[in-house]
């Protein structure tokens, strides 16, 4: 899996991480992956919900050093 873009959303609170993720995904090609770093506790719920509603796929969710890491594949 190749990451097309990295979005650092640390320090942002709901709904900003998901809004920035949505905006940064627009220019990506279908199938491209974006990695987002976030430390907002609500992102654990918001990111999977956004992906389910938009048809995108959460490839990975893991803990980083004081933040979460999300890898999302853009829907085709």
Q: Please indicate whether residue 51 is annotated as part of the active site.
A: no
pLDDT band at 8 (very low <50, low <70, confident <90, very high): very high
- Catalytically annotated residue among 4, 12, 14, 58: 14
- How does pLDDT run across 17-56, given as a tens digit for each residue? 999 999 999 999 999 999 999 999 999 999 999 999 999 9
CA distance 54 to 51: 5
State if pTM tops 0.75.
yes
Section 50-68 average pLDDT: 97
pLDDT band at 1 (very low <50, low <70, confident <90, very high): confident
Strand partners, 36: 7, 70
Per DSSP, 11 falls in state T
Domains along the chain with CATH numbers: 3-73 (3.30.110.40)
pLDDT band at 12 (very low <50, low <70, confident <90, very high): very high
CA distance 58 to 56: 7
């Amino acid at each position: 899996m190749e990451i097309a873009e990295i979005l650092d959303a640390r320090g942002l609170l709901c709904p900003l991480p998901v809004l920035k993720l949505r905006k940064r995904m627009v220019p990506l090609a279908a199938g491209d992956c974006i990695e987002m770093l976030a430390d907002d506790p609500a992102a654990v719920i918001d990111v999977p919900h956004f992906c389910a509603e938009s048809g995108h796929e959460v490839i990975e969710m893991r803990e980083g050093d004081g933040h979460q890491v999300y890898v999302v594949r853009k829907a085709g």
